[in-house]
Structure 1
Amino acid sequence: MAERDGPEIIGRRVQQLRTERGLTQKQLAEPAYTPAYISTLEAGRVRASEPALRHIAERLGVAYDELATGRPAHLATDLRLRLTDAQRTLATGEAEVAAEQYAGLLAEAEAHGLVAEQAAALLGLGECALETGDLATARERFEESERRMGDAPLPQRVPAVRGSAVSHYLAGELRYACYLFESTLDELNRTGLHDPDALLLLYTGVIAPYMDMGAHARAAQAAEFALALAPQVGNPALVARMHRSVARTMIAEGRIAEADVSLAKAAELYRQLQIRTELANCHWMRGYLYVQNGELERAEDELREAQAMLSAKRAALYTSQVAVELADVLHRRGKSEEAAALLHEVLGDLSSERGAVHSAGAHRLLGIIAEDARDTEAAEEHYVRAMSLLERAGAAGDLADLCRLLGDLLRRTGRVEAALDAYRTGLGHRTAPGTTTLGPAPAQPPL
């Protein structure tokens, strides 16, 4: 329930409403209170109890919340209804339209001091910015959303934490992204806060940074946990639509508390729909495992499924990342021309501040394809650009492998000293398979 205004403000509001309705203090007070009590209340010299305010609100013909806070009746419920509308818009892939809806809702929530609704609107704006690839704005919105939640339980803050972590990851800050994911997972599991939705968000989100840091064992485990939790989501689109429709009916009937419950369920389900973007990571992870087993045809199928899931939501940045992985499989299957065309198509959407690791992966693969075509000059150029991107991102495992490729190329073209320098650089970036430098893996959920 929203915090009440002070006695003086409530007193003036009671006096104004009483005067507008032509009631005397005695008429307003009876039968439970005295005219003197109403006079004292209107003067702001007493803090009315909740029963007293409910009695006065009923006599004045207004909602209790409106009398206690000055906000129009059903305002918070109406805002929550429109927040679910914006979530539905975002879930269908219309990020720019959803952002406009969220911005209007944020301004309205701020004007009326509705803090929980402010946090929800900021979270939505962060998700919209992620979808469109505006990472700096996304990070600011997620961090501000979490701040406005204050001391809310951790499961409620997880969507904002996850958003911040993904923003850092996509900006190339792999280590910090893993820290945010792992520390939050550890706190949830160690303290018994086993919220399935919160865990699913975190496990699906941490897969990609694990992979890019060379922590393949942890990535595989996170994918298994995510896929085990995913069936609990069911088909949220249909259920969410039902809850929204029910809520509108209840509002029309004046059943506000019940409508709020339905809206909360709808909002949660629309948020789960956004997990579709991250569940594509699980298909990508399966594709990676099939590659390791030499099952390239199955790997291609999984990656194309991931790409289709992401394209359907117009998630351009995520789609470009999966395209790089798919191009690698195509190259391994002898489809190098198709792979190169796909890489050139997505490179414009990647940069050092936006998908740095996958941008480096694209240049690495283009270098390999150029070497196969005996174009050593183009190959070297791609390798050097990839090294620069990986050094900035701290992707140690990929950097070590790239230094080997560059060293081999330099050695074959007779530049032995330069080749040795490349090999030495690679040795300095070796990482043990399946590990990060973040310490023990987080506690596991009770599946």
Structure 2
Amino acid sequence: MGEFTGAFTDEPAEIGRRVQRLRTGLGLTQRQLADPAYTPAYISTLESGKVRPSETALRFLAGRLGTSYEELATGRPAHLATELRLGLTDAQRALATGAADEAAVRYRRLLTDAEHLDLTAERAEALLGLGDCALESGELADAIRHFEAAEGLLAGEPLPRRARPIRGRAVAHLLAGELRYACYLLESTIDELNAGGLADPEALVLLYAAVIGPYMDMGAHARAAHAAELALALAPRVSDPALVAGMHRQVARTFLAEGRAADADASLAKAQAVYRELRLRTDLAHCHWMRGYVQAQNGDLDSAEAELRTARDMLAAKRAALYTAQVEIELADVLRRLGRYEEAAGLLSVLLDLGERHGAVHAGGAHRLLGLIAEERGEPDLAEEHYVRALALLERSGATGDLADLCRLLGDLLRRTGRIEAALDAYRTGLGHRAAPGSTTLGPAPAAPALPPRPAPQR
């Protein structure tokens, strides 16, 4: 948090009145207070507010007056700042263990206290906490507002200190379906860190892990895999086990895209072990979710259903509405593949307002699944309606990989119903969304950090 310096002190007149009050309260004369380092005249000038005391002078006087430098310089008892920092730790623990509502109440109170005490770093920390709580509850506009405010408070700090609020903003935009903007925020920050020689490993791992998701959603699998490789290479230099676990959770997506299901599951198992040890229920729920996804892709539908239901129950208990909805879309797909159409459609029908409330990607996914269900039940007109609505939503978000697949589904449906020209149009649209692997239209990939050389193999 840093020690206070003269830049944060009160005005000279206020400090002078404080020194005089403490001196007279102790029954000291100006000469007694000044000896042996200063003169009585200096103390008199200081108490009258005609001179701004140096940090050295204030530290000397604080020792003579039986108080702290911080309290003498600012009027703020040192124990209040310590109590505030402990409160922030408690709020962070509450959020990590799944009590997002309780954590938000604590963070709001702590933000008020930090503003009253004029503690900039603690204000930023409280705002970051409120942003994380808003992400949990799906209030994306609030999350962006809190992260922007935290970033503004840290504007004068080195870029690694600003990585957390930037990452928070990017995740909020990603969840809102704004994939390209999320990539822009993360990539530009990564570039700035590497180009400026600020290759802080914790900040980079945080950013690389966050950018994997939008890369995968946009079909940039090669770029996602490269980000995963860089994150794995940096991980040994990171001291925060939860950060490394989160990185493994995201890296699993790239392993799965490469057909490495066993490696994906091994990464998730590593992450789960850390989350259980640290009692991080939110992250543990996300691990169950991801393992369910891996098992579904690997054809183990019964295990996938069990993992996804566990994730959904854990997230629903925390009132994490947006994340719960995302898991329910995955669960509905598993139920569809198991032939349990009514259950799947029931889950999806309550999610169709997501396009307006939380962004296009998840609502598009719900319409795509409802289209598949309608096709499999012999209702081609209803299937077409859902596919067209899904296309409109996904085009808005830039989810290139999903768009290409959806155009194929729509084209196949149109071809089977005899509308060959319309089918060809759908296929052409899909081809337009199939970028070369790893490229999309994002522009140049961010520069890679300067990693330490690998040790030579033992002979």
With the length of structure 1 as denominator, give the TM-score of the two structures. 0.80
Preserved CA contact (<8 Å) 2:96 2:280: no
**Which sits farther off after the overlay, 164-173 or 353-362?**
353-362
User: Against the structure 1 CA distance between its residues 64 and 136, is the aligned structure 2 distance closer, same or farther, given a 3 Å change threshold?
Assistant: same
Residue 369 of structure 1 corresponds to which residue in structure 2? 373
Residue 5 of structure 1 corresponds to which residue in structure 2? 10
Equivalent of 1:436 in 434, 440, 445: 440
Instruction: Write the distance in 2 (CA, Å) between the matches of 1:352 and 1:274.
Output: 34
Alignment of 1:70-89 (within 5 A): 70-89=75-94
Alignment of 1:12-411 (within 5 A): 12-223=17-228, 226=231, 229=235, 233-234=240-241, 314-332=319-337, 336=341, 338-344=343-349, 347=351, 350-411=354-415
The code of the aligned residue for 2:153 comes to R
Residue 270 of structure 2 corresponds to which residue in structure 1? none
Higher relative contact order (CA 8 A, sep 6+): 1
Instruction: Write the distance in 2 (CA, Å) between the matches of 1:373 and 1:335.
Output: 11
User: Which structure 2 segments of 5+ residues have no match?
Assistant: 244-273, 453-459
The code of the aligned residue for 2:42 comes to Y
Identical amino acids, percent of aligned pairs = 67
Q: CA offsets, 1:141-184, max 9 Å, x none? A: 10110110122122221110100001111111110101111222
User: Against the structure 1 CA distance between its residues 348 and 413, is the aligned structure 2 distance closer, same or farther, given a 3 Å change threshold?
Assistant: closer
**Aligned-residue offset at 1:38:** 0.9
User: Against the structure 1 CA distance between its residues 362 and 78, is the aligned structure 2 distance closer, same or farther, given a 3 Å change threshold?
Assistant: same
Residue 242 of structure 1 corresponds to which residue in structure 2? none
The code of the aligned residue for 1:442 comes to P
SS in 1 for 2:14: helix
Q: CA offsets, 1:416-436, max 9 Å, x none? A: 554455445444434223323
Q: CA offsets, 1:69-112, max 9 Å, x none? A: 11123222221111111111111121121111111111111122
User: Against the structure 1 CA distance between its residues 395 and 440, is the aligned structure 2 distance closer, same or farther, given a 3 Å change threshold?
Assistant: same
**Aligned-residue offset at 1:30:** 2.5
User: Against the structure 1 CA distance between its residues 436 and 315, is the aligned structure 2 distance closer, same or farther, given a 3 Å change threshold?
Assistant: farther
SS in 2 for 1:137: helix
Residue 412 of structure 1 corresponds to which residue in structure 2? 416
**Aligned-residue offset at 1:218:** 2.6
The code of the aligned residue for 1:379 comes to A
User: Against the structure 1 CA distance between its residues 232 and 359, is the aligned structure 2 distance closer, same or farther, given a 3 Å change threshold?
Assistant: farther
**Which sits farther off after the overlay, 165-174 or 274-283?**
274-283
Preserved CA contact (<8 Å) 1:109 1:118: yes
**Aligned-residue offset at 1:196:** 3.9
Q: CA offsets, 1:369-427, max 9 Å, x none? A: 11011012321221122112112112233223323322332343344554455445444
Instruction: Write the distance in 2 (CA, Å) between the matches of 1:106 and 1:225.
Output: 36
User: Against the structure 1 CA distance between its residues 398 and 414, is the aligned structure 2 distance closer, same or farther, given a 3 Å change threshold?
Assistant: same
**Which sits farther off after the overlay, 368-377 or 323-332?**
323-332
The code of the aligned residue for 2:178 comes to E
Q: CA offsets, 1:279-301, max 9 Å, x none? A: 87777677767766767678768
User: Against the structure 1 CA distance between its residues 372 and 171, is the aligned structure 2 distance closer, same or farther, given a 3 Å change threshold?
Assistant: same
The code of the aligned residue for 2:376 comes to D
Preserved CA contact (<8 Å) 2:361 2:397: yes
The code of the aligned residue for 2:410 comes to L
Residue 455 of structure 2 corresponds to which residue in structure 1? none
SS in 2 for 1:139: helix
Q: CA offsets, 1:105-143, max 9 Å, x none? A: 111111222111111111111111111111011001101
User: Against the structure 1 CA distance between its residues 437 and 90, is the aligned structure 2 distance closer, same or farther, given a 3 Å change threshold?
Assistant: same
Instruction: Write the distance in 1 (CA, Å) between the matches of 2:187 and 2:330.
Output: 25
SS in 1 for 2:78: coil
Preserved CA contact (<8 Å) 1:92 1:313: no
Preserved CA contact (<8 Å) 1:390 1:398: yes
Preserved CA contact (<8 Å) 2:170 2:185: yes
**Which sits farther off after the overlay, 421-430 or 203-212?**
421-430
User: Which structure 1 segments of 5+ residues have no match?
Assistant: 237-268
Instruction: Write the distance in 2 (CA, Å) between the matches of 1:171 and 1:307.
Output: 20
User: Against the structure 1 CA distance between its residues 88 and 73, is the aligned structure 2 distance closer, same or farther, given a 3 Å change threshold?
Assistant: same
Residue 266 of structure 1 corresponds to which residue in structure 2? none
SS in 2 for 1:150: coil
The code of the aligned residue for 1:82 comes to G
With the length of structure 2 as denominator, give the TM-score of the two structures. 0.78
Preserved CA contact (<8 Å) 1:223 1:282: no
Preserved CA contact (<8 Å) 2:155 2:162: no
**Aligned-residue offset at 1:41:** 1.0
User: Against the structure 1 CA distance between its residues 155 and 274, is the aligned structure 2 distance closer, same or farther, given a 3 Å change threshold?
Assistant: farther
Preserved CA contact (<8 Å) 2:98 2:281: no
User: Against the structure 1 CA distance between its residues 71 and 158, is the aligned structure 2 distance closer, same or farther, given a 3 Å change threshold?
Assistant: same
User: Against the structure 1 CA distance between its residues 180 and 222, is the aligned structure 2 distance closer, same or farther, given a 3 Å change threshold?
Assistant: same
Instruction: Write the distance in 2 (CA, Å) between the matches of 1:312 and 1:397.
Output: 32
User: Against the structure 1 CA distance between its residues 403 and 136, is the aligned structure 2 distance closer, same or farther, given a 3 Å change threshold?
Assistant: same
Preserved CA contact (<8 Å) 2:98 2:282: no
